[in-house]
């Protein structure tokens, strides 16, 4: 009897055989016991796209980094006197909300000079063409996601094509107005999924910031017999290795729920220590996502 894709495994159970096998071999062994795919909290309790794309208060995160996204589709503004960098324009319908947030913070939307994305899925990149049209900003994207952005029908479509201004490669730097962002290829979720790292100053201290592109598996069945992405498992493993190697003081991500935005923003408004300084939360997120990945891999191997 097949396990349901919606079954929920307990977080504290013993690691699945596929995960244990990694220390002995690069190729996962067929697990000996049936395990359902583990679901993260947001998979177990999903919200509607309408709610996820609703408004959320714009706010300063730390230093010159601001949140200008929706309730769940995270967008970040990295500011400078020479113009700003926007990460993730989200859906086309998100753009007016993003513009309003930028202006509520006292910045000019037209001063956005660089557009970046976490990965070429519509909930993070569909608004790119519109923002580029409104601002004239340069659009830079990781090499493996270029084709999807310029020819959306070739990948996960449903958004306007947009010409890429600069093709990025793993560990390339994006420099603007004194800001230096490093593009880290953390593939799997898409072939060009990108996590960003940068440093910011706040209160006389320097902080390492990581914006996780995404390291989650939307569909466990894509992990096996995937002719369109035959090395997807190895790419996810590479992504986890990269993310675990990055120094992180401030944990951010492409979805607000990944880093507990609502709770942290409420705490921020109350004063006290900045809750976005959360290296423990970063490590816990990666541990949970890696465990979920191997449970889903176990499940997918049994179905095929």
Whole-angstrom Cα distance, residue 152 to residue 132? 16
pLDDT tens, residue by residue, 259-298: 999 999 999 988 889 999 999 999 999 999 999 999 899 8
Whole-structure pTM over 0.85, yes or no?
yes
Note the pLDDT of residue 302: 83
Q: Name the average pLDDT for the chain.
A: 89
How large a percentage of the chain has pLDDT more than 90?
78
Q: By the 8 A CB rule, do 132 and 125 touch?
A: no
Write phi, then psi, for 11 (nearest 5 degrees). -60, -35
Beta strands in the chain (DSSP E): 59-62, 65-67, 76-78, 84-87, 112-116, 138-142, 166-168, 173-176, 179-185, 194-202, 205-212, 250-253
pLDDT tens, residue by residue, 139-173: 999 999 999 999 987 444 579 999 999 999 999 99
Note the pLDDT of residue 74: 98
Domains and CATH numbers, the chain: 17-303 (3.60.15.10)
- One digit per residue, the tens of pLDDT, for the chain of length 304 reads 333 333 333 333 344 555 554 544 445 555 555 556 677 888 888 899 999 999 999 999 999 999 999 999 999 999 999 999 999 999 999 999 999 999 999 999 999 999 999 999 999 999 999 999 999 999 999 999 999 999 987 444 579 999 999 999 999 999 999 999 999 999 999 999 999 999 999 999 999 999 999 999 999 999 999 999 999 999 999 999 999 999 999 999 999 999 999 999 999 988 889 999 999 999 999 999 999 999 899 889 887 7
Note the pLDDT of residue 28: 53
Note the pLDDT of residue 14: 42
List 250's β-bridge partners, or say none: 209, 277
Note the pLDDT of residue 269: 87
Smallest CA-to-CA distance from 149 within 120, 176, 172, 123 is with 120
Both tokens assigned to 192? 């060009």
Please provide the DSSP assignment of 207-244 as one string: EEEEEE-----S-GGGGSS-TTSTTHHHHHHHHHHHHH
């Amino acid at each position: 009897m097949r396990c349901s894709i919606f079954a929920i495994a307990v977080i504290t159970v013993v690691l699945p055989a596929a995960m244990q096998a990694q220390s002995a071999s690069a190729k996962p062994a067929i697990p000996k016991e049936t395990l359902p795919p583990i679901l993260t909290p947001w998979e177990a309790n999903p919200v509607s796209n309408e709610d996820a794309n609703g408004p959320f208060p714009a706010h300063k995160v730390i230093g010159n980094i601001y949140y200008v996204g929706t309730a769940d589709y995270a967008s970040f503004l990295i500011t400078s006197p020479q113009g700003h960098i926007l990460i993730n324009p989200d859906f086309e319908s998100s753009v007016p909300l993003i513009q309003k947030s930028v202006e509520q913070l006292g910045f000019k939307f037209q001063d956005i000079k660089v557009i970046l994305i976490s990965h070429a899925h519509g909930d993070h990149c569909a608004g790119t063409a519109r923002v580029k049209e409104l601002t004239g900003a340069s659009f830079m994207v990781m090499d493996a996601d270029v084709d999807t952005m310029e020819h959306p029908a070739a990948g996960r479509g449903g958004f306007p094509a947009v010409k890429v201004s600069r093709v990025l490669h793993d560990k390339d730097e994006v420099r603007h107005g004194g800001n230096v962002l490093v593009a880290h290829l953390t593939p799997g979720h898409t072939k060009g999924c990108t996590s960003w790292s940068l440093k910011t100053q706040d209160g006389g201290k320097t902080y390492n910031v990581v914006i996780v592109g995404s390291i989650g598996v939307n569909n466990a069945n894509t992990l096996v017999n995937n002719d369109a992405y035959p090395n997807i498992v190895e790419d996810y493993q590479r992504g986890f290795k990269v993310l675990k190697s990055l120094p992180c003081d401030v944990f951010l991500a492409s979805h607000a729920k990944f880093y507990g935005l609502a709770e942290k923003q409420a705490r921020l408004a109350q004063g006290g220590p900045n809750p976005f300084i959360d290296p423990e939360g970063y490590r816990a997120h990666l541990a949970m996502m890696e465990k979920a990945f191997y449970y889903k891999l176990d499940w997918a191997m049994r179905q095929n």
